[in-house]
Chain A
Amino acid sequence: MIFVRPPGPVSPALTRRAPCWAAPLLVAVLGGCSSEARQLGPTAPQTRPISNADPRIPAYQANVYQVAQGGRYFGWYGCGGCHAEGATGVLNLGDTQWKHGDGFADLFTAIADRHGRLAYDRRVPVEVLWQLTAFVRDLPAHKAEKRMRTARDQKAEPQGATWSGPQ
């Protein structure tokens, strides 16, 4: 029965559950399926990505929920203070120019280790760094107006300096 379904990411099991007439549709949306999965609760990465080909990467990079969470943390940690829309040079994250490589692990390192005294490797939990990395790599895929629209919805959330939660 299609309505008794364990939560969590979908996988090959999907093809078993769905009725056969849904097959053509499934082929069409299969890419989209797992990208919609929404996992709440503890998740995989307790460690940094080992390489740009770390097998855990798709679960973040290809998942809209994880990317969107990264977007919220982007505001919370004050990233937008420097990397605002329209920033120039290295500060511009929407231009597909990455100084230290565009791989997942490359950007993860750039965020965690290349921000000097901001020391994100100590201040930001590992999973959040995964989400931030996925978000940042996703940015060039969107038009400027989409990035702005999303940021505006999140304006009421604490932003960097106005953060009042646990330090």
Chain B
Amino acid sequence: MIADLERVPQLDATWRDAPGLWGFLTTVDHKRIAARYVVTALLLMFLAGMLALDMRWQLSTAENTRMGPQLYNESFSLHGSTMLFLVSVPLMEAMALWLVPLMLGTRNMAFPRLGAFSFWLYLGGVLTLWLAHAADVTPDLGWFEYPPLSGPAYSPGHRADIWAQMITFTEVAALAASVNVAATILKMRPPGMTLARMPVFLWAMLIASIMTILSMPAIMLVTSMLIADRLVSTHFFSPAGGGDALLFQHLFWFFGHPEVYIIFIPATGFVSAIVETFSRRPLFGHNAIVLSIMAIGALAFGLWVHHMFAVGLPRLGNDFYTAASMAIALPAGMQIFCWIATIWSGRPRLDTPMLWVVGFLATFVIGGLSGIMTASAALDLQLTDTYFVVAHFHYVLVGGAMFPLFGAFCYWYPKATGRLLSERLGRIAFWLIVGGFNLGFAPMHLLGLLGMPRRVYTYPAGLGWETLNQVATAGSAIAVAGGLVFVGNALWSYWRGRVSGPDPWGGSTLEWASASPTPAWNLPYTPRVDSLTPMWRDGPLRVMEGLALDRREVLVTSVADAAPLYRQKSAPPSIAPLLAALATTAMFIGSIFTPWAIVAGALPIGAALTAWFWPTRPRAGAAEAKA
């Protein structure tokens, strides 16, 4: 899309951030915020990956003494909590924050400052967990911390509080991001992009956001109840005091199961986008895929009990949740067949993004199959808490979410940086990661069947577990080496990569209409859309005028038909989100130590929010109102 010459400087002036540090702290540019999210999360992925390698080192031989039990407990707790709460979910949100406005051809998110607030709070959660770790107050009860073990009697000190509060941080951040994404997708689509013409990527992000909004309150509630039990001696989880320890598990998994789909559904969005572009044909079965995603989203809220088969629930309960868990294989399988059909009937090109999709398909199917096995209550009683489960969830999380994410990274990297990743290094990284991963985690299925429990820091010799563990460690090391190549490639290409131009892959959706890297105002004009693949129409993209150039303005459209409704002022940069996040941080951290922090902390938060929402234009006068 080519803009008039005088238009660009005007847009630049309107959408510019202040220079330097002030601009860094106040920006509401969704692309800058998303980039921060991505970089922070990738750094944490590296740290948590090194922790994993350290654990694998410890397990590589029987009776190894590199780690003691306490350090091992801390390691897997930190690894699991980081990977799920600070890496996977935030990365998916970051991709939405970055790509949703671009794919809609709009100038910013619906609530620009909420995006900034979301990142600062996420950073608060990161620092809470990792600074506490630096100070040796590391949570040590795994990524879900059941009472009574995490209650006041068995977890004195603040390790469990750190974990619970880290969750509060990341969940508020996730809620903020999700509300933002949902509102943006529903109300800011370009004219012509009716719900029926909305790309799968946007559907996936919309549904994942709605799931986040529905499931996060459960975990915020449950961690707050845990903190209350620990801090002010409530009895929520104390059976002897009339409470219920299982209540924690129900509430946790009512969030925890949807959580894995909150990670996986955005990944299906990446896969759909990549498959479409690289098969060079519109996605086969668009409606079927969208309906499958909806079905997965709905079913995901009815499965949580499969994480509790071993706690002794009624038989009928177990049977019901077995059936419900297996049902999810239907929509998941439907999606996979649609992708395969697209590739089959298209003219596929095997660049690295597509390579990752192939890696995803192979690996995720294995994870899905072991999932059907653990979904069966009878079999799960044998498998639960063994390495079979460790193998299963790494296959679905790494194979089902990380591989598509790596593919997405390769696919959209040129959009973010203006340069292409090296394909050669990319292929090396791909084979090392996918090969190493499968070598590392496939043997764990066998280890689990042989009876090796998860979360053990060592095992005696002579049980026949040594060789498989050694292979697992070797595989993990290879995968980590591949990860380093991947990161090295990203760094090298940032300065040395081939210049990509706006649309290196011939993509189908609107983000490819913008320049790479994208300027602060995204697209010079508002696009008009008449198909699912607007970039593939014959002739140039049709656009419309009408938004102000001299002030920040966005177009709001109707939910179903995307008919233009009105022009909306888009919030300019502000320090208020950072201040509000700092005040919230003070309250969250303080409430680990005293309940009064909630009362005292409400005042600064109120002040920061008042500054945030302070009206910037005069109230309408009486005369104006009459007119």
Contacts and interface: CB of A to CB of B under 8 A. Distances in A.
User: Do A and B interact with each other, yes or no?
Assistant: yes
24 contacts: A4-B54, A7-B67, A7-B68, A7-B69, A19-B134, A22-B131, A25-B134, A25-B135, A32-B137, A33-B136, A35-B157, A36-B137, A36-B157, A39-B70, A64-B156, A65-B156, A143-B233, A149-B152, A149-B153, A149-B241, A150-B153, A152-B235, A153-B154, A153-B238
A36 B136 CA distance: 7
B148 interface: yes
Contact of B152 (A4, A33, A150, A155): A150
Contacts of A100: none
- Which of A7, A17, A18, A40 gathers the greatest number of chain B CB atoms within 10 Å? A7
A19 B135 CA distance: 10
B257 interface: no
A149 B67 CA distance: 34
A67 B135 contact: no
A3 B137 contact: no
Contact of A68 (B54, B75, B154, B240): B154
Interface in A21-54: 22, 25-26, 29-30, 32-41
Given A14-B135, A149-B235, A36 B50 contact: no
Nearest to A35: B157
Nearest to B132: A29
Nearest to A25: B131
Given A3-B47, A36-B136, A153-B151, 13 more contacts: A2-B134, A7-B68, A19-B134, A22-B135, A39-B70, A40-B69, A64-B157, A146-B152, A148-B233, A149-B153, A149-B233, A149-B235, A151-B153
Contact of A32 (B51, B134, B158): B158
A154 B50 contact: no
Contact of B238 (A6, A8, A41, A149): A149
Contacts of A41: 68
Contacts, number: 102
Nearest to B78: A3
Given A40-B70, A67-B156, A143-B233, A152 B50 contact: no
Given A146-B152, A149-B238, A153-B154, A10 B136 contact: yes
B133 interface: yes
Given A35-B157, A68-B156, A153 B240 contact: yes
Interface string B520-537: 000000000000000000
- Indicate the member of B147, B148, B153 with the most A CB atoms within 10 Å: B153
Interface in B50-98: 50-51, 54, 67-71, 75, 78
A29 B75 CA distance: 21
A155 B240 contact: yes
A26 B159 CA distance: 16
CB-CB nearest 10 A-B residue pairs: A153-B153, A64-B156, A149-B233, A7-B68, A64-B157, A152-B240, A68-B156, A155-B240, A7-B71, A145-B233
A4 B54 CA distance: 8
Contacts of A40: 68-70
Nearest to B69: A40
Nearest to A154: B153
B385 interface: no
B134 A36 contact: no
The number of chain A residues touching the other chain, given as a range, is 35 or more
A71 B156 CA distance: 11
A10 to B, nearest CB: 5
Interface string B142-180: 000001100111101111000000000000000000000
B503 interface: no
Interface in B304-338: none
A30 B47 CA distance: 24
A41 B458 CA distance: 15
A156 to B, nearest CB: 8
B136 A7 contact: no
Of A6, A25, A38, most B-chain CB atoms within 10 Å? A38
**B: contact size bracket:** 35 or more
Contacts of B240: 152-153, 155-156
Interface of B: 47, 50-51, 54, 67-71, 75, 78, 131, 133-137, 140, 147-148, 151-154, 156-159, 229, 233-235, 238, 240-241
A3 B131 contact: no
A1 interface: yes
Among A22, A29, A40, A152, the one with the most B-chain Cβ atoms within 10 Å of its Cβ is A152
Contacts of B157: 32, 35-36, 64-65
Contacts of A3: 47, 50-51, 54, 75, 78, 133
Contacts of A155: 240
A117 interface: no
A122 interface: no
A99 interface: no
Contacts of A22: 131, 134-135
Contacts of A25: 131, 134-135
Contacts of A149: 152-153, 229, 233-235, 238, 241
A2 B134 CA distance: 6
A143 B140 CA distance: 26
Nearest to B66: A4
Contacts of A145: 233
Contact of B137 (A6, A29, A143, A146): A29
Nearest to A34: B136
A113 B209 CA distance: 64
A42 to B, nearest CB: 12
A5 B75 CA distance: 10
B148 A153 contact: yes
A5 B136 contact: yes
B70 A33 contact: no
Interface string A54-84: 0000000000110110011000000000000
Contacts of B70: 7-8, 38-40
A148 B131 CA distance: 32
A151 B151 CA distance: 11
A129 B376 CA distance: 48
Contacts of B71: 5-7
A10 B67 CA distance: 16
A18 B71 CA distance: 17
Contacts of B147: 153
Interface in A139-167: 143, 145-146, 148-156
A19 to B, nearest CB: 7
